[in-house]
Amino acid sequence: MPLSKIQTIDNQVVPNLGSRNMIINGSFIVAQRGVTSSTSSGMQTVDRTYLVHSGTDNAPTQAQVDVASGTTPYSLGHRKAFKMTNASQSTTDAGDYIQYEQQVEAQRVHSFGWDATSTSSKITMTFWIKSSVARTYQGAIRLPDANKIYPWNTGALSANTWTKVTKTIPGASGNTINNDNGIGMQWLLWPYIGTTYTGGSTNEQWGSAAGATSWTASVDNTSYWTTNGATVEVTGLQIEVGSEATSFEHRSFDDELELCQRYFQTYSDTLWQGTNEHAANYSLYLDGYFRKDMRAAPTATIVGTVTIGRPQVGVTQRPNSIGGLTKEGFYKCNWPSSGTYGGSLGTHGDAYYRMTVGAGPTNRLDFSSEPN
């Protein structure tokens, strides 16, 4: 890194103030999947944002929502938030939980210069949170490679009031983070977590994450679980090197989107061309290059209508899988040998073929390289 791009905070070398947030899409502005609300588990709405749950009688809803004007986060430039809405839960069991998660790739953590093994090397986490019920929320920083966890809580929150949470976290001996493309750090927030997971840790101390019982400290959080329609919103999530909480790093939408596309890319209204079709194998070879290299060879999902065909004669079929996947792109699509959208396109050597994705977001070709 050129000297002009380096500064020090607490005698630690860190990127300049134009590039300091380890979290990608901490402003929650990018939602490539085109889905603003979902009751499915996993990453369904906002890029780089997971919501997982267990033991729920009815699935909670995750959504990208607008930050209301006139609020403090709005005045600081935040326009979107991630919102979790509870459904009706009839029972409260020890193993139940609702977990919100953001992941940071291991080599990304290294690139910001945090020495996780040193007590003198610190990171500072800040975010804004609003809850419809007055309560304390439990969260944690987890390092999967070292199997270590650092629990924390938000402190008591007033209902329907945006509150800024700031925590400074030191490194510790044994906090290994591999310098690779796996998960280096997880930011966790539990709207609800059962007693199975709250027996082994002390807030704001590093501990072992080897067993589920040690993931977080005890907290009375039943008010969210037992309140039908209870909500919690988060925006402005930032993790930076040093003990000082600086202002949120607002990236442009284009810059944030490009960072997200390392992990997920979606294509609609798109056409790829190919010139070599093997009818016997029901495969079409294409030059399918991604917009940018992905973290690793992705998995591909066909959503809605995707067609392959030979426009010279109007023959079309529908692919059922994408092959030849690398982090740079793909070179093959496959389709059934028979059926309504199966059968040969004909053997025509170097004839002109194409694969076309319909209008989004209901028609998409998705490529996911998320770490989990």
State the CATH number of the domain containing residue 69. Answer: 2.60.120.260
> CA nearest 17: which of 30, 29, 2, 5?
5
Give the domain-ending residue among 232, 260, 288. Answer: 260
CA angle, 12 then 15 then 18, to 5°: 135
Does residue 211 share a domain with residue 192?
yes
- 148-157 and 97-105 strand pairing: unpaired
Burial class (CB in 10 A: 0-12, 13-18, 19+), 136: middle
Same domain, residue pair 13 and 141? yes
| Helix/strand/coil for 260 | helix
Q: Which domain holds residue 42?
A: 3-260
> Does 97 share its domain with 226?
yes
Q: Which helix (H) or strand (E) holds 111?
A: helix 106-111
Residue 273: strand, helix, or coil: strand
Query: What's the number of domains the chain is made of?
Result: 2
Same domain, 119 and 49: yes
The full DSSP string for 319-331 is -SEEES--SSEEE
The one-letter amino acid at 74: Y
- Could you give the CA distance from residue 287 to residue 337 in angstroms, rounded to a whole number? 23
* 88 and 216 within one domain: yes
Question: Do 307 and 242 belong to one domain?
Answer: no
Show pLDDT as tens, one digit a residue, over the chain (372 residues).
333 334 444 545 444 466 899 999 999 999 998 888 888 888 889 999 999 888 777 788 999 999 999 999 999 999 999 999 988 887 777 888 889 999 999 999 999 999 999 999 999 999 999 999 999 999 999 999 999 999 999 999 999 999 999 999 999 999 999 999 999 999 999 988 888 888 766 789 998 887 766 677 766 667 787 888 999 999 999 999 999 999 999 999 999 999 999 999 999 988 787 765 554 567 777 778 999 999 999 999 999 888 887 766 666 788 889 989 999 998 888 888 887 777 777 655 555 677 888 888 889 999 999 997
Q: Decide if 188 contacts 140 (C-beta within 8 A).
A: yes
Given 260, 285, 305, which residue is the final one in a domain?
A: 260
pLDDT at 277: 54
Q: Rg (Cα) of the chain, in Å, rounded?
A: 23
**Pair 82, 157 in one domain:** yes
Q: What pLDDT sits at residue 144? A: 95
Is the Cβ–Cβ distance between 175 and 209 less than 8 Å?
A: no
**Domain edge (last residue) among 260, 290, 320:** 260
User: What's the confidence (pLDDT) of residue 348?
Assistant: 56
pLDDT of residue 341: 75
- Domain match, 135 and 51 both: yes
